[in-house]
Structure 1
């Protein structure tokens, strides 16, 4: 039963968020073998000025060595 929480820099439309949720659901069903009814997805908008404090430092930085996809930016690149 996968649950995905996606944090995005603010500014994406509801249509884009819906497309992302549908694409992640399709991929989780196809690749991970989940049933569509088992998938839940949350999308959280984060103001870009708050990204370092709310996302990078508490969530990304502590797990950098084990991320399957690391960001192409570091703390010094953020506001």
Structure 2
């Protein structure tokens, strides 16, 4: 607890590591759970595929459940 799944336009390995570190810090600070309880996956999605593979299938059907909605 928790597992975070991130889908993003392609970013570098260094950016993935930095993003992971920042999210882990926020989770620990917010939940009080130790780092060992946190897992994070990051999947690159090409910009040309975003709307069809991520927005239409994962974001749009869950808009009412999103705590942060996209602005596009």
- For Structure 1 versus Structure 2, the TM-score category normalised by the shorter chain is over 0.9
CA distance in 1, matches of 2:45, 2:33: 28
- Counterpart in the other structure of 1:77: none
Task: Output one character per residue of 1:12-64: Cα deviation in whole Å (capped at 9) or x when no partner.
Answer: 11111000000000010011122100100000000010001110011000011
1:5 corresponds to 2:29: no
User: TM-score when scaled to structure 1?
Assistant: 0.87
Question: 1:40-55 residue pairs with structure 2 within 5 A?
Answer: 40-55=39-54
Superposition CA RMSD, Å: 0.7
User: TM-score when scaled to structure 2?
Assistant: 0.95
Q: What secondary structure, in the 3-state scheme, does the structure 2 residue paired with 1:68 have?
A: coil
- Counterpart in the other structure of 1:15: 14
CA distance in 1, matches of 2:33, 2:71: 30
The answer for unaligned runs of 5 or more in structure 1 is 74-79
Moved >4 Å (runs of 4+): none
